[in-house]
Every structure is written in structure tokens, then in C-alpha cells.
Structure 1
Amino acid sequence: MSWYNEAIFYHIYPLGLCGAPKQNEYTTPVHRLNTLLPWINHIKEIGCTALYIGPLFESVGHGYETTDYKKLDSRLGTNEDLTAFVKACHEKGIKVIFDGVFNHTGRDFFAFKDIQKNREHSQYLNWYCNVNFWGNNEYNDGFSYDNWGGYNLLVKLNQRNPEVQNYICDVIRYWVSEFDVDGIRLDAADVLDFDFMRALRRTAEEVKPDFWLMGEVIHGDYSRWVNGETLHSVTNYALHKALYSGHNDHNYFEIAHTVKYLQNMGNLDLYNFVDNHDVERIYTKLSNKAHFNPVHVLLYTLPGVPSIYYGSEFGIEGRKERSSDDSLRPALVLADYADAKETNPCTALVAALGKIRQNTPALSYGSYAELQLTNRQFAFARDLDGVRVVVTVNNDDNDAWMNLPAGNASEYVGTLTGQKVSVEGERINVCVHANSGEIWVPAGDMPEYTPVKVEVKEKAVKESVKEETPAAEETAVAEETTVAEETTVAEKTSATKTEEKETASESTDVNTISTATKETAATEEKVTEASEKSTAKEPVKVDPNKAPEDMTVEELQAAILAKMASNGPVTDQMKKTVDDNIWHDSLVNWLKSFR
């Protein structure tokens, strides 16, 4: 096993957290990265053991239009600052991974500048995809080229060019020798060339033991990317969606079936998260703010590697805007949250879960078994070496009792509340508080924890948060309001949630496994019915004059399939990949990527 198998990540978008200017004037470096040194102690104190930080390197604006892969962005400081920062993290036992933006460069990158100057005679002509001197663009370059997401600011690298592969592999070697980095998060990994990723994997195995490659992948069969030849992990957007909508809809079936769907891909250590620099804050997404508790209990206990995005441990809000992601990437002053562990219930919960996760190996390595499932209550076990850890969550406004199969122990203790329950007939009967969760471990076999009051009271959180934004329920977001009904089992289940609510037990006294079994069977029958109905629905008509940003998810999916069909036969797997993507912004970028 490697360090990343039991890591708990903290995610920082440095240009935002440091309050850097939006545009880089390439002037004298400003040592803003040094202002993040106090955050290292905070990261450790809330139980995180690894840091994903990026983008870091010289760029024009938001950081993903790279100008120089070997120079820290001058808005953040110097290479010496970055070396010292990583060293300070390592001294605290925190691993560090950088953002690797290797799918595209900015227009100020040396190879592209050479093409602008020397045109057809440039030695770097083949470094980019489809450079065409019969075309033009909005910059009036006198040539066109492939880009990422429809943005000519992001010039698509030709990853099949051996010179490009060698250059990027040398960048990785440089990052290890210069900064001692422990891994890389690959931006836009879902559009990276697979042979290129194999070359990156070979380099990773060469530069450092257990060097970790994690890719940004939005949709599809994650096992295509996570395997022994390419990447170690990818971003788990499927679970991200299920965690917030499963609570907003009082539909734990969606979460449970998403876990099953992911397990069918194999034993993958996916990168789990509830928010990041590209999506809305979890506290904004949740209709009931009290669900912050069960959402994070699941984040820390379901299979995968958990991650916290900076500021979300304080319960701050952030809403995605069409023209700007600035509200998702705010500048924060750590001193404003100096006593958050003691006064902010969100921070107290995250810190407690970090401690529990570090001291409970079954949560990192244990097998997964579903124990009980209704719309509003969910229980599962993580089993390792004969030790059973039981996780229970409740999204109802009332307490609920659950009777569950236990492990080989005489007594269990709730690590968040300190409750103790005796094992009777190899089962435990536990109370799960309203809108809450608990992690039950055998008493005596694992460390017991000081109870932490983690009820999320909206008033208390708002008082501790410096930045106030309107309540999430007042804004409709395309990503959250439009859901494909015929894709994975998880989405199918979500589509039948209304029927489930009418038939599922609303009782808060859940005493037998048989009830959950019957409800699961009923749900699966409805899923089948919904699937049969979905095959008969009329094709979606797409207005060719409609801007992608104004299309619905269904219209975007139909438009993408039409583009694919114009290029050749569309296989069932291709259709499934499109159907599996229910994220509006991702589909917009996908559609724009077609020429």
C-alpha cells in the first residue's frame, strides 16, 4: 500500500486564496505564496495528510493557460518560495501534489510564440494539433488550431509528438528534483492521449517511489483511466453529484446505487470530493444546511480518497456564475477563522472526521457492504481483517433507529457522539440523530474519541462566516436542475424518486433488515420500469441556432451525438459515455470542442 491509499486531501487554488491579480503582468515576483505557510498547520490540525495545490506555474490569467512550466507564477513568488513551501509541508508530514496542465498551453508559451513568428517554418509546428495557415481566429494570428473547450486561449498540445512527450516528462522530472513534489493532478485528463498518459506513468515510476498520478475525469468508465498502465486515480464526479442530490431529494437510493455502479468498474481508489474550484460550494448546494453533517460522514467513509476544498471546512458559500468562477475561488484570511474548531460546527465535524479516518484503517482499506437502505436512512459496513466498522446516516428531520449486523465485538462506540451500544445476537440497535451520521467502531479494538458536538446550526455557521451570500435554495443551477433519466443505475434511481417517496416507509423506527430489503427490491423494479419507458421517448430536437450555454442537458447530449454521427458510426459505448455525462458545463465544453 502507498501513502495515497490512506490520504486525506486538502485542496487549494492558490491564485484565489492568495488574492492574486486576475491578469499576470509578468513583473517582479510578489511573494504571496508565503502567506499560505500558516495554512499548513491548519491543514494538519483538521486531519488532512496531503495537499493538492494548483495551478502554480507562470500563466496569463486563471492559471490554466501556462506560459512557463518551470517557473512559479510571478503573482505567487519565486521557485525558491515554492521549494520552501513544499519542504514546510513535508516537515509536517503532508504530501504535496501539483496541478499538471499538460493538455494545452497558453498563447505566451515559447513554442506557440515561435509559430506566430516563424509560421510554416517554425520547428514547433507539430507541437500543436491541426495548425492551419488557411484559417484564422479572433486574435488574427493568420492561422487556426485546435483548442480545449472552444477557447483559443488554450492551445491543444499534440501529445502524440515524441518531442512534446519528452518535454512534459522532463517537466515532471524537474518538478521532483527542484520542488520534491509527490504527485500530479492531471488537468483535463479525460481528453489526454492514452499513450501520452502511459509515458507519464513510466516517468512517475522513475522519478520517485509512490509518485501519484490523479486525473480530472468528468464522466465515463473510470477504469479506462485508472489501471496499472495509466493513472492511479481520477476525480469521482459521479459520487460528487450523488452526495448532494441524494440529500436534497431525500434519496439515499441514488447514493447507494452510485457506489455499486462505481464498484462494478473494479477496485478503484477514486478521488472523492463534495466541491472544488470548478463547482459550487457544498454549503450552497444543500437545500437543508444540516445535511452538511451526513454528506461529510459519507465523504470520509465511502470507498475512495476524501478531499476538502479550502474554506468549505468553515461552511462558506460559493455560487457558480456563467461569466466568472471568482466566487468559487475567494481570498481568505486564516486569522478570521482562528477558533473555528471550537466555535464553527462545520470545522469541528471535518476535524473530527479527519482524526477518525486516520485512526480507522478499515475506512481506507476495508471492503464495502450495504447493510440497510431507505430513502432517508442508509447503513453500510467497512470490513478489514475481521474488524467491522459500521456507518449510519440519516437525512430525516427526526431521529431514526437502525438494527444492524455487527462484527466480532461485545460493544460498539459511536466515534462522533460517544454513544455506546452492546452487541446482542451479533447485531446492534443504534439511534441515528436527525440530519446526522455516525461511525461505529468496536470498543477497545480501536481508539475512542472525545465526543464533538457537530450539529450544523445555520445561524451559528452564518455568524462564523465572514462572507455572506444568498441562500442556495433561491438560485437554480443548470447543473443541478437537469438530470438525465436513463443513464447509470444511480440516475435511473433518481428519476424514480417521486414514486419511491410515495411507497417508502416514512417511519423513523427502522428495526429490521427485511424492510430495507423489500424497499430495495421495489426500487429496482421501478428502475426497470423507468428504463423501459425511457427507451420509448421521442428524440430531442436541437435548434442549430441555439447557443450551447442556453441548451438543456438533453439538448447538449443530442447535439454531441449528432456531431459524433457526422464523423462515423456511434457505438453503444459512445452513447453510454454521452448519457453518463449530466454536467451542463462539461457538455457545453464537449460540444464546443467539435470543429
Structure 2
Amino acid sequence: MAWYDSAVFYHIYPLGLVGAEKRNTLTAPRHHFAELRAYLPYLKVLGVDAVYIGPLFQSGTHGYDTTDYRTVDYRLGDNEDFRSFVRDAHNCGIRIIVDAVFNHTGRGFFAFRDIQERGEASPYRSWYRGIDFGGRSAFGDAFRYGCWREYPELPALNFNEEAVRKYLIETVRYWVSAFDIDGLRLDCADVLDLSFQKSLRYFTNPMKPDFFLLGEVIHGEYARWVNAETLHSVTNYELHKSIYSGFNDHNFFEIAHNLNRNLAIARELYTFLENHDVDRIASKLREPEDLRLCYMTLFTLPGHPSIYYGGEFGLEGRKEGGDDSPLRPAIDQERMKPNELTSFVAKLAEIHGRNTELQIGEYKELYLQCRQWAYARYDRNSAVITALNNSREAAGFYVTLPVQGRLVVDLLSGEELRPEGDNRLFIRLEAKEGRLIKVKI
């Protein structure tokens, strides 16, 4: 097993968490990493094994308009601050994954500025798509250029240019040598040059053992990216959508169908309930009692589970028009105290860490109705059964245990259960209740 096979991830949008300025006009760093380092002991207690943090590098606004890939954003700190953060995280047994924003740069990036200054004489004119000196850009530049999704503040890089590919690979090499990071999250990997992603896999393999490549993929067949030549994992947006929709519509068939569709690679996928781009799960659910059940699915279905910062407190937040700020709030550590949900999430993370079936075990559906669902993660000698009731009424049903049950215990309550002679177990669930049941030969 690689470290990421068993890891629980924690996703931080740092510019939001520390309450950074919306626009970066700083000429000296603010040194907010002391606040971020203070999170590490808490994250260890929560059961976190890896932090995906980003964007981190110098940018003009939201962090994805990069102006310097090799300098930490002044609104967060400086390079030494980040180096110390990674070192302290490693001392806590926590890996660090950083955002790699490679489809585009900001207009302040050195190559783009050179084109602005030298025009057709710039050696970087081929670094960007669609450079055309026969017209003017939306900002009045003496040339037109290709934009990321029609946003003129995000000039699109040209991956047909070898110098671009080489520069980005060397940037990753710098991040590994300077900061000792453990992996990358590739922004918008579903439209990032696929051959470049394969180059990343080839070059990062020898840079550091078990270096993790995670791609942000919203649409497409995930196996196109998750394979031995490209990436280790991608974001499972399909499952994300089916979880909140399945609970809201009292339709476990939707979640089960989606899981089965990607079952061949489900254990490799990065699973989440919320992130910095989508509304908070606590704001999406029609019935608040389903929040605990959603976290149970997150930690027990195949995949690499990820908590988005503040989610373990039940924070709410919705996009306001095109503004993502409500999804990326500042958090006052002194005022944000753990609650019952926080303790429950920590318990689920502990159960995930102690039971390898939930990390690499096979998946088997045991019982499925619109409002009740039971499934197992199992190996040759043991299993963990998840049973869920998405109804306001109590329910009960039989399941056939996937292994011979000599010892059967509820992992949440500690109650010992007795299977019947034909290796069947009756599971009773109260309204809106979930149970995790360990079975050993």
C-alpha cells in the first residue's frame, strides 16, 4: 500500500481561512502560516493523514491567476514559512498536497509581461495560445491571446511549446526540493493537456517515493486519467452529486448506481461532500439529520475521503451569484469549537484508520431500497458493514454476512450482535440512523 491508499484528506483554501485580502497589492509577506501551523495538532486529533492546501503561490486575486510559481503568496507568508509548515506537518505524520495551476497564468506572470514589453520580439510569444499581433486584447494590449474560459485575466498556456512543459516540470521539481511536498492537485485536469499529465507522472515518480497526483475532473470517464501512466486519482464529482441528491430525494439507488458505474477504479477516486467550488453540504441537504449519514457514506464507500475545512463543524455556505467567498470563509480558531458533529467525524476517521477493509477492501451491496441501504467493505477474514436509514421511521432488514461471522460488533456503540444460523444478521435502524458493524471470522 502507498500512503494515500489509507489516507484521510483535509482540504484547505488558505487565502479564505486566514481572511486574506481579495487583491494582492503587498510588497512584503504577512506571515499567516503560524495560524496554519496551529491547525496541525487539531488535524492529527481529527484523524487527518494529508492536507490538500491551495492555491499557495503568488497571484493577483483568488490564487488561480498565478504570477510567480516559485514564490509563496505574500498574503500567506514567504517560502520559509511554507517550508516550516511542511516540516511541522511531516513531524505530525501529515502529508502535504499543493495546488498546481497549470492551464493558465495571471497577466503578471513574467512570460506574459515580457510579451507586453517586447511584443513580437519576445522569446515567450509561443508560451501562450492564440497570440496575435494583429489586434488588441480586452485589456488594451497590442496583441490578442487565448483566454482560459474566456476570462481575459487568465491567459492560457500553450502546451505544444516544449519550453512551457519543461518550465512547469522544473517548477514541480523545485517544489519537491525546496518544500518537500508529497503531491499535486492538478487544477482542471479534465482539460489539461493529457500528454503533459503523463509527463508529470513519469518525472515525479523518481522525484519522491509515492508522490501523489490528483486531478480535478468534473466531467468525463475517470479511467481516462486514473491509470498507471497518468494520475493516481481524480475528484469524484459524480459521487459527490449523487450523495446529496440521493439523500434529498430519498433515493439510495442513485448513489448505488453511480458507485457501481465506476466500481473498477472506485478505490482510487478522491471522494468529498463539499469543496471550495461547490455549496456546503449542510446547505444542500433538505433534512439536517442526513448530515451525519452523509459523512458515514464518505468514510465507508470506496475512495480517498476528504473533509473540506469547516465541514466537520457543519458550516453552511452558498455561492452568491459568481462569488465563491461564502464557501471559503475565514475561521477564528478561538471561536470555532468542536461540536457533536466534529466528534462524530473524528470517530469515523478513527474507524477508517483502524479498519483496512474501509481503505482497500472490496465492495458488496447487501440490501438496497429507496430509503434503506446496506453494503460491506470486506477482505478474506473480515468485513465492515454500513447500514443506513434515510427515513423518519424505524426500519429493519436481514443481510447475509460476506464472511462467516464469529464476532459481530457495532463499531459506534460497542454492542455485540448475534447472527442467525444461516449467517444472516437482522439489522434494526431507528429513524435517520446509521450503523457500522464489524464482522470477523
TM range (shorter): over 0.9
2:317 is the alignment partner of 1:318 = yes
For 2:95 and 2:433, locate their aligned partners in 1 and report how far apart those are by CA, in whole Å. Answer: 31
Structure 2 counterpart of 1:512? none
**Any idea what the Cα deviations from partners look like across 1:188-226, whole Å, max 9, x if unmatched?**
101111111111111210210000000000011000111
Which whole-Å CA distance do the structure 2 matches of 1:24 and 1:186 have between them?
23
Amino acid at match of 1:364: Q
- What SS does structure 2 have at the residue aligned with 1:382? strand
Letter in 1 for 2:234: V
Matched residues in 2 for 1:89 and 1:169: separation?
25
- SS of residue matched to 1:20: coil
Per the TM alignment, residue 433 of structure 1 is displaced from its structure 2 partner at its CA by: 2.6
Alignment of 1:294 with 2:293, yes or no, is: yes
Cα displacement (A) at 1:258: 0.4
Query: Is the CA contact 2:400–2:424 (under 8 Å) kept in the aligned structure 1?
Result: yes
Q: Is the 8 A contact 1:223 1:268 kept in 2?
A: no
Secondary structure of the residue aligned to 1:317 is coil
Cα distance in 1 for residues equivalent to 2:192 and 2:162: 15
Could you say what secondary structure the match of 2:334 adopts?
helix
Q: Tell me the distance in 2 between the aligned counterparts of 1:369 and 1:196.
A: 36
Deviation sequence 1:106-162 (CA, Å, 0-9, x none) = 000000000111111110011111111223222011222112122111111112211
Paired with 1:17 and 1:207, the residues of 2 have a C-alpha distance of 30
SS in 1 for 2:181: coil
In structure 2, what is the Cα distance between the partners aligned to 1:336 and 1:124? 49
2:417 is aligned to 421
Equivalence for 2:369: 374
Which residue of 2 is the match for residue 500 of structure 1? none
Select the residue among 330, 344, 360 that pairs with 1:365.
Answer: 360
Task: Name which of structure 1's ranges 195-204 and 11-20 shifts more when overlaid on structure 2.
Answer: 195-204
1:402 is displaced (CA, Å) by 2.2
Could you give the per-residue CA deviations for residues 446-478 of structure 1, whole angstroms, max 9, x where no partner exists? xxxxxxxxxxxxxxxxxxxxxxxxxxxxxxxxx
Residue-by-residue CA offset, 1:339-366 (whole Å, 9 max, x unaligned): x1xxx22111111100000000000111
Q: Name the structure 1 match of 2:151.
A: 151
Contact 2:266–2:303 (CA under 8 A) maintained in structure 1: no
Of 395, 404, 410, 1:408 maps to 404
1:352-404 CA deviation, whole Å, 9 max, x = no partner? 10000000000011111111100000111111132122111111012211211
Q: Distance in 2 between matches of 1:417 and 1:133?
A: 70
Match of 2:391 in 1: 396
Code of the residue aligned with 1:208 in structure 2: it is K
Q: 1:440 aligned to 2:431?
A: no
Counterpart residue number, 2:328: 329
| 1:63-82 superposed matches below 5 A | 63-82=63-82
Whole-Å separation in 2 of the counterparts to 1:360 and 1:221: 30
Letter in 1 for 2:118: N
Are 2:433 and 1:431 aligned? no
Q: Distance in 2 between matches of 1:5 and 1:441?
A: 20
Q: Give the match for residue 161 of structure 2.
A: 161
* Counterparts of 2:405 and 2:253, CA distance in 1: 29
Check the 8 A contact 2:133/2:142 in 1, yes or no.
yes
Report the CA distance between 1:52 and its aligned residue.
0.2
Amino acid at match of 1:13: Y
Q: Is 1:272 the counterpart of 2:271 in the alignment?
A: yes
Q: CA RMSD in A?
A: 1.2
Cα distance in 1 for residues equivalent to 2:268 and 2:204: 17
Give the unaligned 5+ runs of structure 2: none
**3-state SS of 1:238 partner:** helix
Q: Distance in 1 between matches of 2:278 and 2:412?
A: 29
1:48/1:354 contact within 8 Å kept: yes
Identity of aligned residues (%): 47
Q: Is this contact kept in 1: 2:418–2:425, CA < 8 A?
A: yes
Alpha-carbon deviation of 1:337? 2.7
Partner of 1:356: 351
Deviation (angstroms), 1:432: 2.0
Residues 421 and 430 in structure 1, CA contact (< 8 A), matched pair in contact too:
no
Aligned to 2:283: 284
Q: Distance in 2 between matches of 1:298 and 1:120?
A: 55
State the partner residue of 1:130. Answer: 130
AA in 2 matched with 1:427: R
Q: Over residues 222-275 of structure 1, what are the superposed CA-to-partner deviations in whole Å (9 max), with x where a residue is unaligned?
A: 0011111111100000000000010000010000000011125x4650000000
CA distance in 2, matches of 1:186, 1:155: 17
Deviation, structure 1 residue 429: 0.9
Which residue is 1:308 aligned to?
307
2:190 aligns with: 190
CA deviation after TM superposition for structure 1 residue 322, in Å: 1.6
Hey, what's the Cα distance between the residues in 1 that align with 2:240 and 2:204? 27
TM-score, normalization by structure 1 = 0.73
Note the C-alpha offset of 1:10. Answer: 0.4
Larger radius of gyration: 1
In the alignment, does 2:219 pair up with 1:219? yes
Secondary structure of 2:385 counterpart: strand
Counterpart contact for 1:273–1:308, Cα < 8 Å: yes
SS, match of residue 289 in structure 2: helix
Count matched residues: 439
| Cα shift at 1:438 | 1.6
Q: How does 1:456-535 map to 2 (within 5 A)?
A: none
SS in 2 for 1:440: strand
Contact 2:10 2:309 in 1 (8 A): yes
Residue 408 (structure 1) shift: 1.9
Distance 2:320 2:84 in 1: 35
Q: Which amino acid aligns with 1:371?
A: L
* 3-state SS of 2:38 partner: helix
Instruction: State the Cα deviation string for residues 548-588 of structure 1 (Å, max 9, x = none).
Output: xxxxxxxxxxxxxxxxxxxxxxxxxxxxxxxxxxxxxxxxx
Aligned mates of 2:340, 2:228 — CA distance in 1: 41
- Correspondence for 1:13: 13
Structure-1 separation of matches of 2:79 and 2:429: 50
8 Å Cα contact 1:233-1:268 kept in structure 2: no
Q: Residues 53 and 96 of structure 1 are in contact (CA less than 8 Å); yes or no, is this contact kept in structure 2?
A: yes
Q: Distance in 2 between matches of 1:27 and 1:278?
A: 29
4+ residue runs of structure 1 moved beyond 4 angstroms?
Answer: none
Give distance in 2, aligned partners of 1:431 and 1:31.
53
Match of 2:210, SS? coil
